[in-house]
Amino acid sequence: MVDFAGKVALVTGGGSGIGRSTAIGWAKAGGSVVIADLDALRADTVAGEIAAAGGRAVTVQTDIAEQASIEAAVMFAIDRFGQIDFLHNNAFAPWRGSDSAALVADVGDEHWRHVMALGLDSAFRFSRAVIPHMVRQGGGSIVNTSSTAAYHAEARVGAYGVAKAGLSQLTRSIAVEYATHGIRCNAVCPGVIQTPLIGGVPLPQDFVKTIPMGRLGQPEEIANVVLFLASDLASYVTGAIVVADGGRTI
């Protein structure tokens, strides 16, 4: 249904979880992938999987909290392939300090800055670096991994919710400002997905009962939404914030 032949994707956090599934799915549809991840070994492993299946992928070690690293990743992709047709702003790493699950008044400055830097600033910086290249080449697509936390507040994850709400608004702003340049920008809001990110997060025993579909989501299910939004099948879709959470938000 989708064909990415001749197109290039830059996927942040492509070494695991949703990013990994997006990278693999893009390559299966014929596109080339640049996997940007802080964990070089994980990224290389995914690139190896793609190559073994006949696809094309390269990796670049990237710290999404550092402007210079972001710029280097974008230039690596341009130098290697000459273009970036799709940017998936997906990477994130939770704060692991002693105040990681704190009420707002107990959230420290380091916690707040970490979540904003990785959850919002990085997507802004990557988009800022990629958009001029997309403008010059006549278009492109950006998909941001937001969260259902952008829609509703839950106790002890305030900083995360604020960052993701900001990311959804950034998505709309890019969509409005660059539509005439052929650039579409959308976001997907996953619910709780079975990824390494939630490995250390204890869920209430009856949490699954709050999900109408009765189960956690899988990374591939979110990647499928991302790939649809990135594809020509979604050619008239921009500024959309798509919820994929098994019905929990409703």
What strands lie across the sheet with 140-145, from one edge to the other? 56-61, 32-37, 8-12, 86-89, 140-145, 183-190, 241-244
The candidate with the shortest Cα–Cα distance to 123, out of 67, 60, 192, 81, is 67
What is the separation of C-alpha 193 from the centre of its chain, rounded to a whole number of angstroms? 13
Beta-sheet strands, E only, within 98-240: 140-145, 183-190
For the annotated catalytic residues, the residue numbers are 160
Look-up of token digits 């802004």 = 124
Could you give the CA distance from residue 113 to residue 132 in angstroms, rounded to a whole number?
27
Amino acid present at 249: T
Whole-number Cα distances in Å, 190 to 13, 161, 246? 15, 13, 9
Could you give the CA distance from residue 140 to residue 130 in angstroms, rounded to a whole number?
9
